[in-house]
Amino acid sequence: MVRIGIVGSEGRMGQAIVAILPELGHEFAGGVDKGGDVARLADESDVLVDFSSPGSLEANLHAAIGAGIPLVIGTTGLEERHHRAIDDTARAVPILQTGNTSLGITLLSHLVQEATARLGEDWDIEIVEMHHRHKVDAPSGTALLLGEAAAKGRGIELAECRESGRGHEFGGHTGERAPGAIGFAALRGGTVAGEHSVIMAGTQERLTFSHSAEDRSIFARGAARAADWLIGREPGRYTMRDVLEL
């Protein structure tokens, strides 16, 4: 039985993880939210799972180092400075950071990378995602994860070819699509847990990879599996692909 501490335990994902742990045979070591003592929670846990906010990341990293335990980071909206801090911490403890803990999305990103590695730049790539009305970041962390996979398949950086919010800045007049661009569209409404499609449009043919999240519990199961897998690993930075040995 693994003792899993949840950072952001009162959030939607935190509550979903807490609910699923007994079924998976793991122990809920406790949870903290804004202003809570994450260092104490780390001392009482075998592994931490963080679904809080980017502003809490530094304290969570320090807590993991202090207790010498692994950390799963599912928080989205991270910036370059956050990733640098994660890289530094991963020299001391094992860290798994991901924009999505779904096993299905993990496999999907692998397939997207494989497809773009074999298709030429004359195949246009568009990523469309939809989430519930309360989601605050766009594009979603999952959409960016899929965009990174597509860019990696082409051997380029996503920052070099990313197009978001097409039409908004230009009053609807965008000009022709930039060659090699990876476009993003974000939709928000209702109670949608997560819908993602990667569209590859060639000449007179189109290939679409899609994933539908029917319930938030799929992310909770994936996060718990990642936490269990991370225990006993060497210090380093890992992804969900490592969990599936992709």
3-state secondary structure of 190: coil
Helix (H) or strand (E) holding 112: helix 103-118
Residue of 98, 90, 97, 96 whose CA lies nearest to 236: 90
Positive or negative CA dihedral for 111, 113, 117, 122?
A: positive
Positive or negative CA dihedral for 43, 49, 52, 56?
A: positive
How many other CB atoms sit within 10 Å of the CB of residue 107? 15
Active site residue 134: no
Active site residue 131: yes
Q: Say how far apart CA 107 and CA 114 lie, in whole Å.
A: 11
The single residue of 131, 152, 168, 211 carrying the catalytic annotation is 131
The single residue of 135, 173, 196, 211 carrying the catalytic annotation is 135
Q: Which residues contact 117 (CB under 8 A, 6 or more apart)?
A: 153, 154, 155
* Residues taking part in catalysis: 131, 135
